[in-house]
């Protein structure tokens, strides 16, 4: 099947000229320093309607075809999506469960690392592999992690033909469970490095590596950025799949948000024709997004540690995509906004634009107490454990008036995105519920398996040496 309209091309939010999907995927960041955006939204309303009842991988494949154009022929997209979601442990991949009258939970934690980042990274790694192979190139994926992303990236990159992966984590500073999810992966192309330093040291080493041109060329360094366009493309699929499963009138989605990628994918689905009643942007105490939707001013604050650490962020990278649309796709205006932000100035949006985005988005900030109360309420009322990130989304929906005090939908059905399995955050579960989370198989297994990792000082020369050797070892194995 071909797309109903010519596929989009990808422009930079700060004015870069359009490129195709393949170039946008392999580049991650646009050459103007901004993010890639489709030059227009494909009108896929008819196709989306016809996907009602389709298996998850089919929905994902259609969306990738719609957005990928010539870079990804339909047969290739179908094969890629089927393969990406094959290892998910639930037959429906992204099942929806009704908890209360009109409150639904969209379970995004049945992937290999039990969190929703698997949905995007399993696709991104396969796209990389495909595009690299077509070019006859190899690549070494390099990233730093303080928790979830590293494990999801490793699970996505293992076993790929053209890639190896090196993940840096700060020694002794990540939860043992998070570390074990990475270090127990037994694959000759997966390299874990514990850096004697903080997460910031890890990030700064990664930056140094990417600015070392000789090393970049020698290893073919590649980033699994949270701002890669294809991650958004992959995530939009579960909004469509969930809306079809719920049926009836268009739903409100409640989205626990940090970098704003997940929520932006819901917006993208709506822009392509999925009927959506609204998007509730739930934040923890790190509330830059909630403040923006309430006031029209975007201004970072200081980062606080919370029970929902994957959202302890004060710069929401994907916000730049929405800003580009608010500025009527004027790259120069976004460039000026971002330069001002770098100087410490706020980005301000006028009342007319704020009213327009307010028709789709509602921001809501959730306290630690509300997070705990919500976890407890849902356990008591519905007998289920939810993770603290998911709780932020549910509490935000209630605060925004989409749910009543008994968590019943007030008008439209509510779909709360369950972004992680509660077992990934055992301390929060213990604190909120006074009980242990049930530990699913993949986690139980990694608690016993042997760990493989190298410890290095926070020294760039030592890391560079290690990266060269990792790339060579992986290439050797691939032959
Ligand atoms: C990354 C993450 C989020 C936040 O998603 P964004 O796309 O960054 O807004 C929420 N919950 C969990 C469990 C996550 O890992």
- H or E element in which residue 399 lies: helix 388-399
Q: Give the active site residue among 117, 126, 138, 158.
A: 117
Residues in the chain: 479
207 is catalytic: no
Instruction: Give the per-residue pLDDT at 3.
Output: 46
Dihedral angle at the C-alpha atoms of 302, 303, 305, 310, nearest 10 degrees?
A: 160
**Ligand 1 geometric centre to CA of 39 (Å):** 26
Instruction: Give the per-residue pLDDT at 198.
Output: 87
Least confidently predicted of 12-21, 56-65, 142-151: 142-151
Compare 19 and 438 and report the one with higher pLDDT: 19
Q: Model's pTM, two decimal places?
A: 0.95
**Ligand 1 geometric centre to CA of 464 (Å):** 30
Q: How far apart are CA 69 and CA 58, in angstroms?
A: 16
Compare 173 and 458 and report the one with higher pLDDT: 458
| Residue 443 pLDDT > 90 | no
Sign of the alpha-carbon dihedral angle for 322, 323, 324, 325: positive
Whether 262 contacts 291, CB under 8 Å = no
Least confidently predicted of 189-198, 283-292, 443-452: 443-452
Whether 425 contacts 117, CB under 8 Å = no
Where does 96-112+230-433 sit in CATH, by number?
Answer: 3.40.50.1100
Q: How confident is residue 18, by pLDDT bands cut at 50, 70 and 90? A: very high
Give the three-class secondary structure for 63. helix
| Residue 2 pLDDT > 70 | no
Whether 119 contacts 235, CB under 8 Å = yes
Q: How confident is residue 5, by pLDDT bands cut at 50, 70 and 90? A: low
Match 């008008």 to its residue by tokens: 411
Ligand 1 proximity of 421 Cβ (cutoff 6 Å): no
What confidence tens digit (pLDDT) does each residue in 264-274 have? 999 999 999 99
**Ligand 1 geometric centre to CA of 287 (Å):** 14
Backbone φ and ψ for 222, nearest 5 degrees, come out as -140, 145
Q: Where are the domains of the chain?
A: 96-112+230-433
What confidence tens digit (pLDDT) does each residue in 95-115 have? 999 999 999 999 999 999 999
Least confidently predicted of 73-82, 253-262, 265-274, 299-308: 299-308
Half-sphere exposure of 245 (CA within 13 A, CB side): 24
Backbone φ and ψ for 10, nearest 5 degrees, come out as -115, 120
């Amino acid at each position: 099947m071909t797309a109903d309209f010519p596929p989009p091309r990808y422009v930079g939010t700060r004015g870069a000229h359009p490129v195709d999907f393949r170039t946008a995927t392999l580049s991650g960041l646009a050459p103007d320093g901004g993010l890639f955006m489709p030059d227009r939204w494909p009108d896929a309303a008819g196709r989306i309607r016809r996907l009602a009842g389709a298996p998850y991988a089919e929905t994902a494949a259609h969306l990738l075809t719609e957005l990928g154009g010539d870079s990804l022929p339909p047969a290739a997209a179908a094969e890629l999506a089927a393969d990406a979601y094959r290892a998910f442990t639930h037959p429906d991949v992204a099942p929806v469960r009704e908890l209360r009258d009109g409150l639904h939970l969209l379970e995004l934690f049945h992937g290999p690392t039990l969190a929703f980042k698997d949905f995007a990274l399993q696709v991104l790694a396969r796209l990389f592999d495909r595009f690299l192979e077509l070019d006859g190139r190899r690549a070494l994926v390099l990233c730093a992690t303080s928790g979830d992303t590293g494990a999801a990236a490793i699970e996505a990159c293992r076993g790929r033909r053209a890639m190896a992966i090196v993940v840096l984590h700060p020694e002794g500073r990540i939860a043992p469970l998070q570390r074990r999810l990475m270090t127990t992966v037994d694959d000759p192309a997966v390299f874990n490095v514990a850096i004697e330093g903080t997460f910031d040291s890890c990030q700064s080493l990664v930056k140094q590596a990417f600015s070392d041109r000789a090393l970049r060329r020698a290893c073919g360094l590649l980033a699994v950025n949270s701002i890669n366009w294809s991650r958004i493309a992959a995530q939009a699929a579960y909004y469509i799949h969930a809306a079809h499963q719920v049926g009836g009138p268009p739903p409100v989605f409640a989205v626990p948000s940090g970098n704003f990628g997940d929520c932006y994918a819901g917006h993208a689905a709506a822009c392509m024709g999925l009927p959506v009643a609204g998007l509730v942007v739930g934040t923890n105490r790190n509330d830059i997004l909630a403040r923006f939707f309430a006031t029209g001013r975007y201004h970072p604050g200081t980062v606080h540690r919370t029970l929902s650490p994957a959202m302890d962020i004060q710069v929401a990278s994907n916000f730049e995509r929405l800003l580009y649309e608010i500025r009527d796709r004027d790259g120069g205006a976004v460039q000026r906004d971002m330069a001002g932000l770098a100087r410490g100035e706020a980005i301000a949006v006028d009342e007319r634009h704020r009213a327009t985005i307010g028709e789709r988005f509602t921001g809501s900030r959730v306290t630690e107490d509300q997070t705990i109360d919500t976890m407890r309420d849902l356990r008591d009322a519905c007998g289920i454990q939810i993770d603290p990130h998911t709780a932020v989304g549910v509490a935000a929906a209630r605060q925004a008036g989409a749910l009543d005090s008994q968590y019943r939908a007030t008008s439209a059905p509510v779909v709360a995105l369950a972004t992680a399995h509660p077992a990934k955050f055992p301390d929060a579960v213990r604190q909120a519920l006074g009980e242990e989370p049930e530990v699913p198989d993949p986690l139980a297994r990694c608690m016993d398996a042997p760990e493989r990792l190298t410890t290095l000082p926070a020294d760039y020369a030592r890391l560079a040496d290690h990266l060269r050797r990792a790339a060579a070892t992986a290439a050797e194995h691939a032959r």
